[in-house]
Amino acid sequence: QSVLTQPPSVSGAPGQRVTISCTGSSSNIGAGYDVHWYQQLPGTAPKLLIYVNSNRPSGVPDRFSGSKSGTSASLAITGLQAEDEADYYCQSYDSSLSGWDVIFGGGTKLTVL
Amino acid sequence: EVQLVESGGGLVQPGGSLRLSCAASGFTFSSYWMTWVRQAPGKGLEWVANIKQDGSEKYYVDSVKGRFSISRDNAKNSLYLQMNSLRAEDTAAYYCARDTMIRGVDIWGQGTMVTVSS
């Protein structure tokens, strides 16, 4: 069971808007650690989609946006396209005895109807 | 072109050992933290270990502590993961990745598959 909780699946029709939540706790997101998001297309390696809560790397369409509040973060995708069908993961850090651990959410499968 | 290429995966018996390698190119390898992330078949991503630029700090997920060892050779632009006492639950695709620490894990290799089975 992942420290960061994501819905297993979401779906939407082309052109619609979907959101994916990432819920943590006071030892990770709530402690002020940043959240990053990754997109993993079928059969490929993950790709950085959003960094530091709401920033897009060069080349990522502005249809993708991120936000963070309290102990949670969200990824929003507007103008849904067939090519967006993929698995999405949030990532943050968690306080531990050794300093901090890198943690991932369990992943959310996006289906474009 | 910025690139990470893993090698060394394969089939190994429970209790066996394997050493993964990752060759980096197209960026100043010695300037970045590096990390290993794995993904069991049909499952999500799991951080395994990471290592500071000069190798002076190393961190591991609890499930591999005492069994896996991360290392790097900056002269060879290479990252390694020595895996001992392998278990069936270590079966996964292992990704080598560049961790900016501030701006996320921004470069990923294609992954190398490790299968632990008798």
Separation of alpha carbons B39 and B91, rounded Å: 8
Share of chain B above pLDDT 70, in %: 100
Q: Does B27 touch chain A (CB under 8 A)?
A: no
CA of A11: how far to CAs of A15, A34, A60, B98, B107, in Å? 12, 26, 20, 31, 28
Taking only the tens place, the pLDDT of each residue in A97-112 is 666 789 999 999 999 9
First to last CA, chain B: 39
Residue B37 has a pLDDT of: 98
Alpha-carbon distance values, A96 to A32, A100, B4, B57, B77 (Å): 14, 5, 29, 15, 30
Among A78, A58, A70, CA closest to A22: A70
What pLDDT, in 10s, does the model give residues A10-40?
999 999 999 999 999 999 999 999 999 999 9
Among B85, B52, B103, which Cα is nearest to A36's? B103
CB-closest option in A45, A98, A103 to B59: A98
Considering only CB atoms, B104 lies closest to which of A2, A36, A105, namely: A36
With tokens 């994501």, the residue in question is: A6
- Give the pLDDT of residue B107: 97
Q: How many Cβ contacts (< 8 angstroms) between chains A and B?
A: 60
> In the prediction, which pLDDT does B101 show?
84
What are the tens digits of pLDDT across the range A37-94?
A: 999 999 999 999 999 999 999 999 999 999 999 999 999 999 999 999 999 999 999 8
- Other beta carbons within 10 angstroms of residue A33's beta carbon come to 18
User: Is the pLDDT score of B113 beyond 70?
Assistant: yes
Residue A96 has pLDDT above 80, yes or no: no
Q: In whole angstroms, what is the distance from residue B30 CA to residue B10 CA?
A: 28
CA distance B82 to A68: 36
CA distance B87 to B72: 24
Nearest to B45 by CA among A36, A64, A52, A33: A36
| CB within 8 Å of B28: residues ≥ 6 apart | none
Distance between terminal CA atoms of chain A? 28
- Over pLDDT 90: what percentage of chain B? 98
Residue A98 is predicted with a pLDDT of: 65
Is B95 in CB contact (< 8 Å) with chain A? yes
Two structure tokens written together for B13: 């018996």
| pLDDT surpasses 90 at B76 | yes
Mean pLDDT of B26-51: 97
Residues across chain A: 113
B102 touches A at CB < 8 Å:
yes
Band of residue B71 on the pLDDT scale cut at 50, 70, 90: very high
